[in-house]
Amino acid sequence: MTSVVNIAAYKFVSLDCLPELRLRLLDEAAQAALKGTILLAEEGINLFLAGSAEGIDGFLGSLRADARFADLEVKFSRSGAVPFRKLLVKVKREIIRMDHPAIRPEAGRAPGVDAHTLARWLEQGVDDAGRPVVMLDTRNAFEVDEGTFTNAIDWRIERFTQFPAAVQAHRAELEGKTVVSFCTGGIRCEKAAIYMNEAGIPNVYQLDGGILKYFEETGGPGYEGKCFVFDERVSLDPALEPSVALGV
């Protein structure tokens, strides 16, 4: 059975009174019997939670009642058991650490490409302007080893804070091409695309919703292997089935 609903979501939005917000979300998630992690920072929210469909719906309803999260976009998958051992709500300096405070997605995100458009580009080999399309994996090397897009650029970074230096060292690889940055759920490639745009690299896009939304909407054409996830499922295949069958 796959009775447990798993959600992943993030939003770059200015937040204040973080200790109070932390306690409120901790209480709401606990009341809904959810487990997983919620990260809060002045730049926004990032969450990975699991529980019953009723619990997830109730929590999302409460969260979206806050105007700052009203348009929160969520990625869904299912599993046979909850893949998290406890509930954590943490206040951090960044919801995804890059150590480049000038990169503020809330002030204006880089252009995005949706899953169906990307699938078409990959089948064509070029974008709608006729430029070659290259996929740029912004994840850590151990995540890439679980699976990635065919012929994706992989700079073997060990943590996301190394990404800016890798761009500067390898930017010649990107010249004359349409670059689509991607990651698990979209949060890293959003910052990555902004950084590359501000570094003067043209024709850079981010994959909206990341690999998980691409799997959810297209079934994963052009992707080889599985997508690593940071919970007890270990990784998900393009049908969003986990490597480890929880609850069996």
Q: Is 17 a catalytic residue?
A: no
* Residue 195 burial (10 A CB sphere; 0-12, 13-18, 19+): buried
CA 64 to chain centre: 19
Which secondary-structure segment (H or E) carries 178? Answer: strand 178-182
For residue 217, count other CB atoms closer than 10 A to its CB.
16
Q: Out of 17, 183, 189, 227, pick the active-site residue.
A: 183
Which residues, other chains included, contact 202 with Cβ-Cβ below 8 Å and sequence gap of 6+?
A: none
Among all residues, which ones are annotated catalytic?
183
